[in-house]
Amino acid sequence: MHSAKFESKHVSILEDKDRKEILDVDKVIDAVAPYLGNKVADIGCGTGYFSIPISTRIHPDGEVLAIDMDKAMLERLKENIVVQSGIRPIVSREENIPDVEDSSVDSCFVVNVLHELEGNGTLREAYRILRPGGHLVLVDWKKVKMDFGPPYTVRIPERDAARRCRDVGFEQESTFFAGQYNYGLLMVKPEE
């Protein structure tokens, strides 16, 4: 499986003020707000495009686990947050999210990351850390040619993304509108 890893040297793209026109973080969070819970993992968080607004939507005692493989991204995130934000940066690998207990998270966000992954290790880790009944919010680029975003050849069709989630044990609950350029899947870890 071919992937195209986002390089931290392009961090300015993640913090561009016009990014909201491509992917409106508030609309995505609004679409899945009933499923957030008090402990949320943002896997592939980058500089916190989702982590920071999620932290304002959950209970003040809640926690956002901002998870990324790129230490430079997490350092940039730390510059953008206040100590009291409830955001905990975690360095991970595709196949391993350390320091997060099994079945301890209410929801996981995986946004514009799936096309970068070599296999299903990250999805398996999301499944592991989610509590039974917890939700995976998966957003990725539509498989259409565009002048921006990842190359067409690495984009994953929505049906294939849903299949990959089912392959690790998730059930599809619904789809949601994630904007003109992205699709949104709401998956659930079955109750035991």
- The domain ranges of the chain are 8-188
Task: Give the pLDDT score at 163.
Answer: 98
Sheet containing strand 87-91, edge to edge, reads: 87-91, 63-68, 39-43, 105-111, 130-141, 182-188, 171-177
- pLDDT means per 10 residues, the chain with 192 residues, are 48 55 91 96 94 93 96 89 84 93 98 94 98 99 93 96 98 96 98 86
Query: Among residues 189, 142, 144, which one has the least CA distance to residue 170?
Result: 189
Q: Tell which CATH classification among 2.40.50.100, 3.40.50.150, 3.90.1170.40, 3.40.50.11780 matches the domain 8-188.
A: 3.40.50.150
**What's the whole-model pTM score?**
0.89
